[in-house]
Chains A and B, each alone.
Chain A
């Protein structure tokens, strides 16, 4: 997957641009959407607690893989939404899911040697969508492009808000 910083910057750009047109989307909501983008990266918890340790403790097969799938994003978006006040549940769920989807789509475009991305639509399907193989996860170009675009969006955002 792309690094977490790139994942966070993509919904920042898209939601900031959306905030120019949609009144209720302001910076605090942009930040909530960015949080959703971190969900698929939670799969890296496996570096800290190996899945085999969990498997041995629970006595059942176990993998963290669903965290970086649509099912994991939807369930965690629900859990995160409930942490907010009741009146915020709907926008939080929508924005967190949106952020998570941007990360899944971005990861779905990285290089796979057999030309197919991971089954990120699980559990709705086991199908592995084709990938355009645009980048590898350690390619700094991806982060540089994301930083430059996010910087441009930040400057434009400041101007838009100064005008209003």
Chain B
């Protein structure tokens, strides 16, 4: 198949994907009913009594509460999460589902630890890097780029 036909197909598919990148952001509220850090930092009081789910980095831990830093789109807000006894260190990441209460407080219904400490994050990216490298080595063991047709071809024909 001629190269320009393939380039044309790729262009159409890329433009469609680009359209999705824009459409998804414009319709984000339809999939995420909860306020984010930007919403909370501009009009916190208007969300009091509403359900909320946020991802946050733990900055302080106490007996049955913790303090988390929530960021989104360059906005950041510190929230106190009450009603939780979760084993997590400062620097770890948690998901919190609960109710917005006055004074920057979330009454937690459920708290899930995403990364129990900073090391958990390193582990995740380390395993992913090993995966990426291993895959590339494996892929080019079986496939090669044909520089005449600019297509991927099996090494054994």
A interface residue numbers (CB < 8 A to B) = 3-8, 27-28, 31-32, 34-35, 38, 41, 44, 51-52, 55, 60-66, 69, 71-72, 75-76, 78-79, 82-86, 88, 111-114, 118-119, 122-123, 126, 128, 133, 136-138, 140, 143
Contacts and interface: CB of A to CB of B under 8 A. Distances in A.
A71 B13 CA distance: 11
Centre residue among B27, B51, B155 by max chain A CB count within 10 A:
B27
B130 A111 contact: no
A82 B6 contact: yes
A88 B139 CA distance: 15
A66 B141 CA distance: 30
Task: State which size class the interface on B falls in.
Answer: 35 or more
Contacts of A88: 152
Contacts, number: 143
A8 B154 contact: no
A123 B24 contact: yes
Q: Give me the 9 closest cross-chain CB pairs, A-B, nearest first.
A: A5-B131, A113-B97, A4-B128, A28-B142, A61-B25, A138-B120, A4-B131, A3-B127, A113-B95
9 contacts: A35-B135, A51-B25, A65-B25, A75-B16, A79-B10, A79-B14, A113-B110, A123-B20, A138-B121
Contacts of A136: 112-115
B26 interface: yes
> Chain B binding site: helix, strand, loop or mixed by DSSP?
helix
B20 A38 contact: no
A86 to B, nearest CB: 5
Nearest to B156: A28
Given A113-B95, A119-B31, A28 B114 contact: no
A113 B96 contact: yes
A84 B152 contact: yes
Nearest to A71: B20
A65 B28 CA distance: 10
Contacts of B153: 84-85
Contacts of B110: 113-114
B23 A3 contact: no
Given A63-B28, A72-B20, A85-B149, A137 B154 contact: no
A3 B25 contact: no
B87 interface: no
A62 B21 contact: yes
Given A3-B131, A136-B113, A140-B123, 14 more contacts: A4-B131, A5-B127, A8-B135, A28-B142, A28-B143, A31-B141, A34-B135, A52-B73, A65-B21, A66-B24, A71-B20, A75-B20, A112-B53, A113-B95
B23 A123 contact: yes
